[in-house]
């Protein structure tokens, strides 16, 4: 594969003679757009093939900021902003993170996201980039997803698996091309995930020639989640003209774009989706520009966006029926038990070539012994660890997450019950502080999702949106695998 390199000092693109046609395509663009493509901010997303000697697993460096008051905790690029806005800081996933902000309760913040727009700092999440000729095979060797069939600039929820079928972590995988993927994993699983990925990568590359090696990089960027019905209005107000049309970017799709902030264009990666059940976007930003972009998002459209913390994020995801790893999922839970059978692609079930396939496929065919379910609980809210009982008082399961629902005004929870109690409407009991409270199995999500899927299902969406921009067309020409 021809080697390509970007010369940022001259703000120009230097491409090998074998890529002469690609260089001609770039040279036809206006100089401003040439500069945008050559900018250092875009480079981590251009997936330039590295020399083969660099394609082995490389040491991973994780950013840590000055410790300040929270000794020993890592800090995101927005830490100082959180303090200025009155963030009440707690430890989460090894980071000093805001649980809420002064002047707004968790319940009020929750409702504001549902009605307008909230901004969450999710920079503690781990952003990965995997590149190489055999990268699809590598990622499929750890997950049950059909990544070969995933379209460019589309995303899927997936899981990293153990040979037992247990879940190492849940993850969102975005395909940029057949040779480049963007993957986000959980902050609390950082150390074990990186150890797992390093081991898997060493095993994979040991079986392949150098030109087939897969490379893994941790992308050191900020990440914010803009969530709520006004999120498109807010984000679109900052997009540069060539990226203005977000109507063509649907839930589960991604794109590269540029935001106009303080007279400067900031290159970003945008994925439509989130962890709240609302329409929204997760925006990956150059680390040094994360605070500036966040301030611009908060000021946009007459300041309709408010910061939201971990407290609201947890109650929103629970209403949306979404799992929190380490609570609702763990290494002793299979995707089928976790009510995530849909992440196991049908062609992968037939092939049976993923970790734990024998156990997982058997559970799909013959049912598991337990299943994750939703519950509506009367009286006091059920918290993690509360025992679920049947009408005869027998222990049949356990609560893994629970809270009062600000939207419904009821106590909601999720947990695991024996398979024959999973049906919605089944009446059960939950032991809370020594007293058994009445509860009923409920379908999830508790609150209907409002993901933006466009007027016509099955539309090409972001593919056409991305290709219709001048910069997008040039990037596609520079990356023929798209």
Q: Count CB atoms within 10 A of the CB of residue 304.
A: 17
pLDDT of residue 70: 61
What is the Cα–Cα distance from 392 to 373, expressed in whole angstroms?
20
Is the bond into 22 cis (omega within 30 degrees of 0)? Answer: no
pLDDT of residue 250: 98
DSSP state of 329: B
DSSP state of 49: P
pLDDT digits (tens, 9 = 90+) for 152-188: 999 999 999 999 999 999 999 999 999 999 999 999 9
pTM: 0.83
Structural domain 370-442, CATH architecture: Beta Barrel (2.40)
Whether 49-368 shares its CATH topology with 370-442 is answered no
For 49-368, give the CATH class: alpha beta
pLDDT of residue 18: 28
pLDDT of residue 455: 61
Q: What's 46-63 look like in SS3?
A: CCCCCCHHHCCCCCCCCC
What residues does 182 pair with on adjacent strands? 129, 174
Cβ(46)–Cβ(35) below 8 Å: no
Cα 172 from chain centroid? 5
Tell whether 282 is in a known binding site: yes
pLDDT of residue 454: 82
pLDDT of residue 252: 98
Of 408, 417, 409, 419, which is closest to residue 446 (Cα–Cα)?
Answer: 408
Domain residue ranges in the chain: 4-48+468-478, 49-368, 370-442
pLDDT of residue 356: 98
Which regions in the chain score pLDDT beneath 50?
Answer: 1-69, 456-482
Q: What is the largest CA-CA distance in the chain?
A: 77
In whole numbers, what is the pLDDT of the chain averaged over residues? 85
């Amino acid at each position: 594969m021809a080697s390509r390199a970007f010369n940022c000092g001259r703000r120009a693109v230097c491409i090998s003679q074998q890529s002469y046609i690609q260089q001609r395509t770039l040279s036809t663009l206006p100089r401003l757009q040439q500069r945008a493509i050559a900018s250092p901010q875009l480079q981590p997303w251009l997936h330039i093939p590295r020399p083969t000697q660099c394609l082995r697993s490389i040491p991973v460096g994780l950013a840590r900021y000055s410790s300040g008051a929270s000794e020993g905790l890592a800090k995101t690029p927005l830490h100082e902003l959180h303090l200025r806005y009155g963030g009440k800081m707690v430890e989460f996933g090894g980071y000093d993170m805001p649980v809420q902000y002064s002047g707004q309760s968790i319940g009020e913040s929750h409702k504001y996201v549902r009605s307008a727009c909230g901004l969450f700092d999710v920079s503690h999440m781990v952003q990965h980039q995997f590149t190489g000729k055999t990268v699809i095979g590598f990622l499929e060797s750890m997950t049950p997803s059909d990544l070969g069939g995933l379209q460019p600039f589309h995303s899927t929820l997936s899981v990293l698996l153990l040979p037992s079928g247990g879940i190492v972590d849940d993850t969102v995988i975005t395909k940029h091309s057949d040779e480049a993927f963007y993957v986000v994993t959980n902050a609390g699983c950082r150390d074990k995930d990186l150890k797992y990925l390093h081991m898997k990568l060493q095993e994979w590359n040991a079986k392949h020639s150098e030109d087939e090696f897969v490379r893994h990089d941790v992308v050191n960027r900020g990440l914010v989640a803009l969530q709520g019905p006004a999120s498109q209005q807010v984000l679109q107000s900052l997009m540069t003209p060539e990226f203005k049309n977000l109507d063509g970017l649907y839930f589960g799709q991604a794109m590269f774009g540029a935001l106009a902030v303080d007279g400067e264009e900031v290159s970003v990666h945008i994925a439509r989706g989130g962890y709240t059940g609302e329409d929204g976007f997760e925006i990956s930003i150059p680390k040094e520009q994360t605070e500036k972009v966040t301030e611009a998002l908060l000021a946009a459209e007459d300041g309709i966006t408010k910061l939201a913390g971990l407290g609201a994020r947890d109650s929103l995801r629970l209403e949306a029926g979404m799992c929190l790893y380490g609570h609702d999922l763990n290494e002793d839970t299979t995707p089928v038990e976790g009510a995530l059978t849909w992440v196991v692609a049908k062609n992968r079930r037939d092939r049976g070539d993923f970790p734990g396939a024998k156990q997982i496929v058997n559970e799909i065919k013959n049912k598991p012994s337990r299943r994750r379910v939703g519950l509506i609980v009367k009286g006091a809210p059920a918290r993690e660890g509360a025992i679920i009982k049947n009408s005869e008082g027998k222990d049949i399961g356990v609560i893994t997450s629970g809270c009062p629902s600000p939207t419904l005004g009821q106590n909601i929870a999720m947990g695991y019950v024996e398979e024959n109690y999973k049906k919605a409407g089944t009446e059960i009991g939950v032991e809370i502080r020594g007293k058994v409270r009445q509860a009923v199995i409920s379908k999830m999500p508790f609150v209907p999702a409002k993901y933006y899927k466009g007027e016509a299902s099955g539309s090409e969406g972001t593919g056409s949106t991305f290709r219709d921009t001048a910069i997008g067309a040039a990037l596609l020409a520079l990356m023929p695998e798209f």
